[in-house]
Amino acid sequence: MRKERAAYVSSRLEEFYPQTPIPLDHTDPYTLLVAVLLSAQCTDKRVNLVTPGLFAKASTPQEMVKLSVEEINGVVRPCGLAPRKAEAIWKLSEIILTVHEGKVPATFEALEALPGVGHKTASVIMAQAFGVPAFPVDTHIHRLAQRWKLSPKGGTVPRVEKDLKKLFPREEWNVLHLRIIFCGREFCTARGCDGHICPICLHLNGPAKVAPGRPVAKRVKRD
C-alpha cells in the first residue's frame, strides 16, 4: 500500500536526517530566490561557490538593477545558461522594485509571474523562505518517488507532486522534500541504485532483485 510505503519512508528519512539545512547559501528571501534560479541545471555546490561573488556586488534588488546584465552574466557564467539567468535576475529584480515595493512576493501566483521563476522555484521559495507548505519536485524527488512506488513510473512532475501531497501530511512537506533530496544525493543516486540497492529501496522493493555483485548502499558520514 502506498500509505504504508510513505509512512516507512517518512520514518526512515527522519532517522537519517533529523536536521534539514537549506542547501543553498542565502541570507534572505531575495538571495535565496537568486540562488534557486541559478541552481537550474547546476549543482548547489557550484551555486554556493558563485553567489558570494555576486552578492558582494549586489545582494538586494536595488543593488542588482544598478549592474548591467553583462556584469551579472560575467559573475554567474560558471552556473551554466548564464546569459538567460543573468537577464532573468536583472528583470525580476526590477519587477520586485517596481511592483512589489522591493520585497520578494509571498504568493505562488506572483512568484511564478517573475522572469525565470517556474512552479518548482516558486515552491522552494514559499517553503524555505516563507514557511508555506509546498512540495517542490526536483530530479531526485521525481526519481525516488517512482523507485519507492509512491507515484507511477513515467509520471510527470505535476503528477508526482500531486501524489506526494496526498500521501504525506501537509505539515511534513517542507522538511520531507529536503530529506528526500538528501537521500537521493547521498546513497540513492541516479546511477548508484537501480531501485533495489539503497536501504530504503531494499526494504520497499525486496532483496531478491538485487543484481549479482551489487552491494547494498551504505550511508556515508556526512560533514
Q: What is the mean pLDDT of residues 21-38?
A: 97
Residue at which a domain ends, from 128, 154, 179? 128
**Helix axes of 139-147 and 173-186: crossing angle, nearest 10 degrees:** 90
Residue 200 has pLDDT above 70, yes or no: yes
**pLDDT the model gives residue 218:** 53
Dihedral in degrees, nearest 10, Cα atoms 163, 106, 66, 39: -20
Residue 89 counted as domain residue = yes
Is 3 catalytic? The answer is: no
User: Do 76 and 120 share a domain, yes or no?
Assistant: yes
Among 138, 144, 158, CA closest to 187: 144
**pLDDT the model gives residue 192:** 84
**pLDDT the model gives residue 93:** 98
Does the pTM exceed 0.85? yes
User: Do 37 and 121 share a domain, yes or no?
Assistant: yes
Q: What is the mean pLDDT of residues 20-30?
A: 96
Single-letter code of the amino acid located at 11? S
User: Do 37 and 124 share a domain, yes or no?
Assistant: yes
Is 223 catalytic? The answer is: no
Confidence of residue 221 (pLDDT cuts 50, 70, 90): very low
Choosing from 25, 138, 162, 194, which is the catalytic residue?
Answer: 138
